[in-house]
A and B are shown apart, each in its own frame.
Chain A
Amino acid sequence: QSALTQPASVSGSPGQSITISCTGTSSDVGNYNYVSWYQQHPGKVPKLMIYDVSNRPSGVSNRFSGAKSGNTASLIISGLQAEDEAEYYCNSYTTSSTWVFGGGTKLTVL
């Protein structure tokens, strides 16, 4: 199985909104609403930010939202804050009953 495709990096200024894309195929992202997003700060454990495309766990800021269209899922962060600077990974279920991660996107808050 191939990794999902994410941009290597995105950036934005405080207060702005950014979108991180996660492109898969009809065998993963396009076939299920089982897409999740994880935030990872350097040296830290990944943290669940979004699950099942657009659901936000308790305690996660409502500045984080998720969406999906076809084979591409998106993580949207509004009102960027310095603390949002981190690596973000998407993850999807596949038709082989396995899971695949994206390569990761480094978010820089300018």
Chain B
Amino acid sequence: QLQLQESGPGLAKPSETLSLTCTVSGGSINTVSYYWGWIRQPPGKGLEWIGNIYYSGSTNYNPSLKSRVTISIDTPKNQFSLKLSSVTAADTAVYYCARRTMGSSSRDVWGQGTLVTVSS
């Protein structure tokens, strides 16, 4: 059974870069069948799509975050990563990684989420 697990620092300082990794277990990330993405949720607020990556390295990003976001993939390690630069308190959120089926809106497997707090 495929599982996703987010990892990374739970605290980031303002103006610095937030870095998270999602490790995929129980299946290969190197597949034509799925996209791998990041979604976040500020405390007490709704879900926000950040972006996704395909096994080939092709990416799509939320226009409101595009200038600060980089998503990369490491197929040998079966991981994909998120970097968000120049963070502010507004970037404090639970960050989820998730799998979406190619050619579908089905985002069926999610990680447990990790809270990242931006504070000095």
Known: A97-B60, A98-B62. A51 touches B47 (CB 8 A): no
Q: Is the interface of A mostly helix, strand, loop or mixed?
A: strand
Is A12 positioned at the interface, with any CB of B under 8 Å from its CB? no
Q: Which residues of B contact A102 (CB under 8 A)?
A: 46
* CB–CB A92/B46 < 8 A: no
- Report the Cα distance A52→B103, complex, angstroms: 10
* CB–CB A96/B63 < 8 A: yes
Most chain A CB neighbours (cut-off 10 Å) among B105, B111, B113: B105
| A34 interface neighbour in B39, B46, B104, B110, Cβ under 8 Å | B104
Instruction: Give the size category of B's interface with A.
Output: 20 to 34
* CB–CB A45/B106 < 8 A: no
Closest to B58 in A: A97
Q: Which residues of B contact A36 (CB under 8 A)?
A: 105-107
Interface residues of B in 43-74 (CB under 8 A from A): 46-49, 52, 60-64
| Smallest CB separation, B16 vs chain A (Å) | 26
Q: Which residues of A contact B106 (CB under 8 A)?
A: 36, 48, 51-52, 55, 57
A side interface size, CB within 8 A: 27
Q: Which residues of A contact B28 (CB under 8 A)?
A: none
Is A18 positioned at the interface, with any CB of B under 8 Å from its CB? no
* CB–CB A57/B60 < 8 A: no
- Report the Cα distance A84→B105, complex, angstroms: 22
- Report the Cα distance A34→B60, complex, angstroms: 16
Closest to A102 in B: B46
Is B36 positioned at the interface, with any CB of A under 8 Å from its CB? no
- Report the Cα distance A40→B46, complex, angstroms: 10
* CB–CB B104/A91 < 8 A: no
Known: A1-B63, A96-B63, A98-B61. A48 touches B107 (CB 8 A): yes
Is A104 positioned at the interface, with any CB of B under 8 Å from its CB? yes
Q: List 10 A-B contacts (CB under 8 A).
A: A1-B62, A46-B110, A52-B105, A89-B47, A91-B105, A98-B62, A99-B52, A101-B48, A102-B46, A104-B47
Extra pairs beyond A36-B105, A91-B107, A104-B46 (11, CB < 8 Å): A45-B96, A45-B112, A46-B47, A46-B110, A48-B107, A51-B105, A51-B107, A52-B105, A57-B108, A98-B61, A102-B46
